[in-house]
Amino acid sequence: MLQTFVDTPSPLTPDHAPAPATTPPCAICRIRKMACCDGLFDGSPGRSLIKNRTRATAARQNICRAGEPNEGVLVICEGWAVRFIQLPNGKRQILSVVLPGELVSPAAILEKQSAFSVQAVTDVRYRYFTFAEVRAGILDNPALFDTWIRLTAAEHRSADKRLVDLGQRTAQERIAALIVHMMLRCEERGEVRDGEFPFPMSQQQIADFTGLTPVHACRVLSSLRHRAICNIGRGVAKIIDRGELERIGSFK
Amino acid sequence: MLQTFVDTPSPLTPDHAPAPATTPPCAICRIRKMACCDGLFDGSPGRSLIKNRTRATAARQNICRAGEPNEGVLVICEGWAVRFIQLPNGKRQILSVVLPGELVSPAAILEKQSAFSVQAVTDVRYRYFTFAEVRAGILDNPALFDTWIRLTAAEHRSADKRLVDLGQRTAQERIAALIVHMMLRCEERGEVRDGEFPFPMSQQQIADFTGLTPVHACRVLSSLRHRAICNIGRGVAKIIDRGELERIGSFK
DNA sequence: CGGTACATTGAGAAATTTCAAAGTTGGTGG
DNA sequence: CCACCAACTTTGAAATTTCTCAATGTACCG
């Protein structure tokens, strides 16, 4: 797995080759300045990230499963991951998409047992912080406390928005909203060029996120493509008519 | 049940009409021992609830609206309330049902501007704590910190469950899940007798919670009634076949 | 009483799912 | 380099779920 990650960067990994896991990756982390881990931990030498090894999981593999004891607080260093809940009948709901530099779930930071699973969308590099580190960091440092409050509140607002999405909006609106949302997040990271950005989610994953069947997700994507609004496929999203896409995807 | 409201004026009352309550309400609060406010604040005399007035809002009126500056941290003292988001097109999604003794949204505890609205389902009595009180309380007292963490994590797990509900389950399953969920919460409060408990939500509210139309919610409720599973109406839920209801409502 | 909000019912339309089959893609081993 | 395999995507047709519109019935309140 690790070998896969180091030797065969997927088409979606940045031009700069990913660091081998033995190099302190945070030192060269492209998004370190915007990453939660930077604000949360790099300041205190004793708790610096650098001494923690990263791990890797190949695309489409699970990083952790609901019900397993948590190893600590999970942060994605590189690649896309999704947080999801699997039902006994085989259906699953993707709860959120996690990008590099983000905590997988700020609100679940002290949960000893996870209520959700996490899957790698692309090849992913990630690391854990121990509960003790995180708890002490937050209680020691009021600024960290506020940062963490802000992250938790943001995650919560985002969950509320998703509820509105799933409860009140059509298939097309949900898919457009997902594309717009990912576009904005990629834009912040400087990953959008000529209206194109990495979009590694499969149609099955898009369906699991939006609460649709893969077949219907495919039809909606075809329709968006056919109407020259955007073209999603092969790991890349190309936005053609941004105004129209945002109009469809925004709350009405 | 809410005799104190008889003397509050008609439904045309301004939303923030204060309750006439001269009695310190927490002293007689039936659910005080299980309420978040008891654990969070009653211990410290300087911040005791007792000196804060409660306010009242009549059934079907809004307690606060999204976008308005928050007055503080909202706790429901008596009655049912719902947290919701209203879309410009008139649709709305109910995010959660809040019962007496509960914080309206633990994760939003320090948000100066609310992202959601709150509506009274029944006549409701409630109060605010100031941000300063809450923040100081949490930072001063590690036990409170942990309590609050737990509340936030629970709210978050609940939001995730609702996402699964809205994304993956049928109308009948969602409605059954709502009924079972409220039954369990009422059971904890000792409000279930002979399979009956208060259920003041209108069909419109049930629909807004489950992401259905009121007409379809009505059909599902009729079906449950017709099949002798449960009978929802006139503010009361009567559970007839609990096993079957739980089977329908639980994750499959 | 009379009105208003809420609940129920029917019929047809629209959105989404299901099932099934065929086309594509990318990776693997010969 | 090619053939093959597995996973993913696309398309069609029919079934199902849910919505919309419209009309009627019912409870509660002043």
How far apart are the C-alpha atoms of B30 and B171, rounded to whole Å?
A: 35
pLDDT in tens, A146-182: 888 888 999 999 999 999 999 999 999 999 999 999 9
pLDDT for A108 beyond 90: no
- Token digits of residue B100: 């007496």
Which chain B residues have a beta carbon less than 8 Å from that of A118?
A: none
Return the higher-pLDDT residue of A202 and B138: A202
Average confidence (pLDDT) over A76-96: 95
**Nearest chain B CA: its distance from A83 CA (Å):** 10
Chain segment B51-89, per-residue pLDDT in tens: 467 899 999 999 999 999 988 889 998 999 999 999 999
Whether CB of A119 is under 7 Å from strand C: the answer is: no
Reference A212, options A172, A160, A155; nearest CA is A172
Q: How confident is the model at residue A80 (pLDDT cuts 50, 70, 90)?
A: very high
Average pLDDT over residues A189-197: 93
| Per-residue confidence (pLDDT) for residue B20, from 0 to 100 | 43
Render pLDDT for B8-18 as a digit per residue (tens, 0 to 9). Answer: 333 333 344 44
CB contact under 8 A, A92 and B168: yes
Separation between the CA of B10 and the C1’ of C2 (whole angstroms): 19
Q: Using 50, 70 and 90 to split pLDDT, how confident is the model at A41?
A: low
Please answer yes or no on whether B85 and A164 come within 8 Å at the CB atom.
Answer: yes
Compute CA distances A123 → A15, A99, A114, B245, whole Å.
15, 12, 22, 42
Q: Would the Cβ of B62 be found within 7 angstroms of any atom in strand C? A: no
Q: Which residue would you say has higher pLDDT here, A8 or A219?
A: A219
> Averaged over B248-252, what is the pLDDT?
90
Please give the C-alpha separations between residue B127 and each of A51, B115, B150, in angstroms, as whole numbers: 48, 19, 22
Q: Report the sign of the C-alpha dihedral through residues B106, B107, B110, B113, in that order.
A: negative
Q: A233: closest CA among A204, A200, A209?
A: A200
Residues A9-17 have a mean pLDDT of 33
Bases of chain D with protein Cβ within 7 A: 7-13, 17-22, 27-28, 30
pLDDT over 60 (residue B31): no
Task: State whether residue A251 sits within 8 Å of chain B by CB.
Answer: yes
- Are residues B156 and A105, on separate chains, in Cβ contact within 8 Å? yes
Q: Looking at residue B66, what is its pLDDT?
A: 94
B143 touches chain A (CB under 8 A): no
Does pLDDT of A37 surpass 80? no
Greater confidence, A249 or B25?
A249
Better-scored residue on pLDDT, B20 or B138: B138
- Chain A nearest CA to B3, separation (Å): 34
What was the pLDDT predicted at A39? 53
Q: B3: pLDDT confidence band, cut at 50, 70 and 90?
A: very low
Tokens 């030498």 identify what position?
A: A45
Percentage of chain B modeled with pLDDT above 70: 79
Comparing B184 with A46, the larger pLDDT belongs to B184
Across the interface, whether the CB atoms of A93 and B159 are under 8 A apart is answered no
Q: Is A22 exposed, middle or buried (0-12, 13-18, 19+ CB in 10 A)?
A: exposed
- In the sheet that holds B196-198, the strands lie side by side as B196-198, B236-239, B230-233
Residues of A in contact with B109 (CB under 8 A): 149
Q: How confident is the model at residue B92 (pLDDT cuts 50, 70, 90)?
A: very high
Is the CB of B18 within 7 Å of strand C? no
* Burial class of residue A125 (count of CB atoms within 10 Å of its CB; 0-12, 13-18, 19+): buried
- pLDDT at residue A7 in the model: 31
Inter-residue contact A217 to A145 (CB < 8 Å): no
Residue of B nearest to A174 (CA): B167
CA–CA separation, A186 and A97 (whole Å): 12
- Report the C-alpha gap between B58 and B125 in whole angstroms: 9
Q: Which of residues 93-112 of B touch A (CB under 8 A)?
A: 93, 95, 105, 107-111
Crossing angle (nearest 10°) for helices A203-210 and A171-188 = 110
pLDDT band for position B24 (cuts 50, 70, 90): very low
User: CA-to-C1' distance for B59 and C25, Å?
Assistant: 58
Tell me the CA–C1' distance in angstroms for B61 and C11: 35
Nearest CB to B159; choose among A89, A159, A167: A159
In this predicted structure, which of A140-149, A233-242, B37-46 has the lowest mean pLDDT?
B37-46
In angstroms, the CA B182 to CA B154 distance is 16
Residues contacting A137, CB < 8 A, separation 6+:
A40, A41, A44, A47, A144
Question: Integer distance in angstroms from CA A232 to C1' C22?
Answer: 22
The pLDDT > 90 percentage for chain A reads: 60
Measured between beta carbons, the chain B residues lying within 8 angstroms of A210 are: 167
Inter-chain touch A91–B116, beta carbons under 8 Å: no
DSSP string, A230-247: EEEETTEEEES-HHHHHH
**pLDDT level of residue B34 (50, 70, 90 thresholds):** low
Q: Which residues of A touch B167 (CB under 8 A)?
A: 93, 166, 210-211
* Strands of A195-235, DSSP E: 196-198, 230-233
B154-194 per-position pLDDT tens digit = 999 999 999 999 999 999 999 999 999 999 999 999 999 99
Q: What is the mean pLDDT of chain A?
A: 83
Q: Could you read off the pLDDT of A122-149 as tens digits, one per residue?
A: 999 998 888 887 877 777 777 787 888 8
